[in-house]
């Protein structure tokens, strides 16, 4: 498939999506949304892919939704076009997704990172929800996901002031899984993704579904979900292989079934 705004590559069992609109600091216009959603769906349907990495450039992961594209829209158009609607399909990808963030992750860029399962940040990364400076609010999940990531008071301060936080503060706040030197970001992302992709695919899907459920449900309901999904994995060949490999003191060879 041809994509206009991203570069797509497969390395081993890892699918790479690199945002490529350098002239706009990777601002997320509707073509970027279509491209990312399409590429992620293709990877997600491919059992040879066990993890996806989404990254940008050194200067910007993504500087937000494309302000120039949105500026003249009416509220009615935003509703009827469902301008950001397809992003939910990206958030619903079953394959684990790593955001490798260098430079700006602002507005929709921060929200895109928060749709991923792991956020690796270069020490140059800057996160923020600056929509308040534009007379709007986060619109791709930021007001909901940021609170769940960093708690009410940090999220409220960021969303109400629009200020940016650096990688250290983002890690301390719980938004970032790990900070690495900028020069190591892509290698660390590749290593982490390859580690994940070497696991049993059904268990990865189950783990991601359980993590998502934890974000969405009361504890008792989440625990019930976990119990059922945990039990279901005992019908996979990979569970037998994983536990036999432990007993036989060798590395497991998972088949994804």
Active site members? 65, 108, 111, 131
Cβ atoms within 10 Å, residue 141:
19
- Report how far residue 56's alpha carbon sits from residue 223's, in angstroms, rounded to the nearest whole number: 36
Shortest CB 257 distance to ligand HXC, Å = 39
Q: Which is nearer to ligand HXC, 13 or 126 (CB)?
A: 126
Contact 127, 159 (CB under 8 A): no
Q: Which is nearer to ligand HXC, 83 or 199 (CB)?
A: 83
Three-state DSSP state, 155: helix
Shortest CB 149 distance to ligand HXC, Å = 16
Q: What residues make contact with ligand HXC under the rule CB under 6 A?
A: 24-25, 27, 63-68, 84, 104, 106-108, 130-131, 134, 136, 138-140
For residue 237, what are its two tokens?
């060949």
Q: Which is nearer to ligand HXC, 68 or 250 (CB)?
A: 68
Longest dimension (CA), the chain: 64
Shortest CB 175 distance to ligand HXC, Å = 16
End-to-end CA distance of the chain: 28
Q: Cα 212 vs. chain centroid, distance in angstroms?
A: 12
Look up tokens 């491919």; give the residue: 46
Looking at the DSSP assignment, which residues form a beta bridge with residue 105? 62, 127
Q: Which is nearer to ligand HXC, 117 or 131 (CB)?
A: 131
Look up tokens 């081993």; give the residue: 12
- Report how far residue 167's alpha carbon sits from residue 180's, in angstroms, rounded to the nearest whole number: 9
Three-point CA angle 113, 118, 121, nearest 5°: 70
Shortest CB 205 distance to ligand HXC, Å = 28
69 Cβ contact partners less than 8 Å away, ≥ 6 residues apart: 29, 30
Shortest CB 23 distance to ligand HXC, Å = 6
Three-state DSSP state, 104: strand
- Integer-rounded Cα Rg, in Å, for the chain is 19
Q: Which is nearer to ligand HXC, 91 or 207 (CB)?
A: 91
């Amino acid at each position: 498939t041809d994509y206009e705004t991203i570069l797509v590559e497969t390395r081993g069992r890892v699918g790479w999506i690199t945002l490529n609109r350098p002239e706009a600091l990777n601002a997320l216009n509707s073509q970027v949304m279509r491209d990312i959603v399409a590429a992620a769906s293709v990877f997600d349907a491919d059992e040879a892919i066990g993890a996806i990495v989404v990254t940008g450039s050194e200067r910007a992961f993504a500087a937000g939704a494309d302000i120039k594209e949105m500026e003249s829209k009416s509220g009615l158009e935003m509703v009827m076009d469902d301008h950001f609607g397809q992003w939910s399909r990206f958030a619903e990808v079953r394959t684990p997704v790593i955001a490798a963030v260098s430079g700006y992750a602002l507005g929709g860029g921060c929200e895109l990172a928060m749709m991923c399962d792991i956020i690796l940040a270069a020490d140059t990364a800057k996160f923020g929800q600056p929509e308040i400076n534009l007379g709007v609010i986060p619109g791709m999940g930021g007001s909901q996901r940021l609170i769940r990531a960093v708690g009410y008071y940090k999220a409220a301060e960021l969303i109400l002031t629009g200020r940016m936080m650096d990688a250290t503060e983002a890690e301390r706040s719980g938004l970032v899984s790990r900070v690495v030197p900028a020069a190591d970001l892509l290698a660390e992302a590749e290593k982490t993704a390859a580690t994940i992709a070497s696991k049993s695919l059904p268990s990865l899907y189950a783990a991601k579904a359980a993590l998502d459920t934890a974000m969405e449900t009361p504890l008792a309901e989440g625990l019930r979900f976990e119990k059922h999904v945990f039990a279901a994995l005992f019908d996979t060949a990979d569970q037998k292989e994983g536990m036999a490999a432990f007993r036989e003191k060798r590395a497991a060879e998972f088949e994804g079934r």
